[in-house]
Structure 1
């Protein structure tokens, strides 16, 4: 029979997971096609001529460009045929429904079918899509969309090299402004040492589950696993914030809004791991179950969901790539390790509960109340 504390913990965690999935479903649309990692690095090198209050940068590991216009005048982004595509200014953000770029840029692959109304030579039909003074969009001029690398990269993949220089034209009144940038191939790192580190960390954390429960060693082991799981949760929160900053979030308010709209599932996973780690540190009932479940969620939703970071040179966070790989390896080791330790402890507790309880010997007939001679 399942103990009452374990049943209560199961109910609480089930409700939490249901809420997590409900929140994650609509949030998946935020940056859904941004890469988890890539080997092509896009950078903005110049805005010519420069204009005070006008900035353009690459966000989401090169997946999008972001334009911020604080000049007080409208600025247009021109499409692939030189037609007006986006307009950003004091009145908000508008897109031209007649521009083919409006449809091609809906996905990073640029494979959206064009409707009959798309005509770069037609007069613009502006539709408001935002209230602010900034806009982000995919731009095929800054991306490498082929499935195979360029010929020069295939010939020498171990060397960093220029794929191409690119230009995205803007228009402010009668003046044309060029956003100039580069696209480089950056050789991917060797993922093997990171997988070895994550695996060794997993085995070390999981081995703590072999310590006998109820002993001083078992208590220390439980607290140690809890502390490491909380550390993995903190690494997840840091990685999530770094990813949101790379997606273009500006200031604390922008980060919080981005987390709620786009990365809430991963943020909740990290916070859940911190809570479960604290639960184990307090030696609460059902802590073993909490460790196993939170560890599984951490390993799956924050670790394996970001494994591309281990084998890609350009990663979608503002931290250095090595720091991002260290965070993911830590998340994998502590999440999978807490899962293993929790399962081992639950298994040991289950075996102990099935052990027969010894019963006192029954006195022989006629011996009740008689003393036994030494």
Structure 2
């Protein structure tokens, strides 16, 4: 059992290191994360025809589109130099994160929106951007976590039979491919959010080492179908990596505002599938390793007898 235990320890260590090193890359695109609150624009005071300011990137930044004939300047907070606040020429657009806007994970005790304002100049005219930060109802985080645990347990149960049952092995191959699809859905939707980044480079940057896991799972699934013993182990390793790089985004289970380009529920379902199936595949890997280890490697080596003359 010693060699099997040592090998399993090495595998676990490698997976943990991969997950830790992939942490920043595994988060939503551009370093964005799920939030409990959302700022929203209410009005420009006074109104300026042709000037549009909207909230983008899940509330992380503002987008200003200047279709006027004047230059628009966003004034910095009092006492601070201009750092992020833009100056937008006629016909231009820009984005910025404003430090005056209330963004918080803690909802006020009374649940009321928190008002904020940002001063602008349109040419020589002073204009105020008015808005408020709201706290949408949070999802039922416990339900998403229960779903994740159920998926992981079901995958692990099937995986425990995979080394000896053909149907279970094919089922594990299908589940591993489903984890890849789930991670891909998570990544593709997240890459839609950044407003000033090329889409496909953002996709691959967001996926990080998950791209390698996609390939490993695909190879493992093919080998499993053609009855090559290593196929199940590759599927298990690839799925475990996908779980590790996606688990950093499970904040979406308890926070309402997601930096995701499609329906937020789709992202939560994809996260459940990637993390749950991947965790189950991680446990499956131990059953596969046990089946691949010859019985003679599971035994303690017998002590070498000492010749009688040396006793």
- 1:221 maps to 168
Distance 2:59 2:280 in 1: 34
Q: Secondary structure at the match of 1:152?
A: coil
- 1:333 maps to 276
- 1:139 maps to 98
Q: Structure 1 length as normaliser, TM-score?
A: 0.63
Q: Deviations over 1:250-292 (max 9, x none)?
A: 7xxx3224335x5242xx41x3343233223212452233223
Q: Secondary structure at the match of 1:142?
A: coil
Whether the aligned pair in 2 keeps the contact of 1:205 and 1:337 (CA below 8 Å) is: yes
Distance 1:224 1:212 in 2: 8
Q: What is the CA distance between 1:180 and its match in structure 2?
A: 3.1
Q: Secondary structure at the match of 1:135?
A: strand
Sort the Cα spacing of 1:340 and 1:74 in 2 relative to 1 into closer, same or farther, 3 A: same
Distance 2:249 2:97 in 1: 22
Residues 1:150 and 2:100 are matched in the alignment: no
Q: Indicate which of 230, 237, 242 corresponds to 1:293.
A: 237
Q: How do residues 110-129 of structure 1 correspond to structure 2 at under 5 angstroms?
A: none
Whether the aligned pair in 1 keeps the contact of 2:162 and 2:169 (CA below 8 Å) is: no
Q: Structure 2 length as normaliser, TM-score?
A: 0.74
- 2:137 maps to 187
Larger Rg: 1
Q: How do residues 60-71 of structure 1 correspond to structure 2 at under 5 angstroms?
A: 60-69=57-66
Whether the aligned pair in 2 keeps the contact of 1:27 and 1:264 (CA below 8 Å) is: yes
Q: What is the CA distance between 1:200 and its match in structure 2?
A: 1.0
- 2:120 maps to 170
Q: Indicate which of 176, 179, 183 corresponds to 1:232.
A: 179
Q: Secondary structure at the match of 2:192?
A: helix
Q: What is the CA distance between 1:237 and its match in structure 2?
A: 2.0
Q: What is the CA distance between 1:90 and its match in structure 2?
A: 7.0
Sort the Cα spacing of 1:239 and 1:177 in 2 relative to 1 into closer, same or farther, 3 A: farther
Distance 1:273 1:72 in 2: 51
Whether the aligned pair in 2 keeps the contact of 1:288 and 1:343 (CA below 8 Å) is: no
Q: Indicate which of 39, 42, 45 corresponds to 2:39.
A: 42
Please provide the CA RMSD for this pair: 3.6
Q: Deviations over 1:189-209 (max 9, x none)?
A: 221111111111111111222
Moved more, 133-142 or 185-194: 133-142
- 1:364 maps to none
Sort the Cα spacing of 1:264 and 1:320 in 2 relative to 1 into closer, same or farther, 3 A: closer
Q: Secondary structure at the match of 1:263?
A: helix
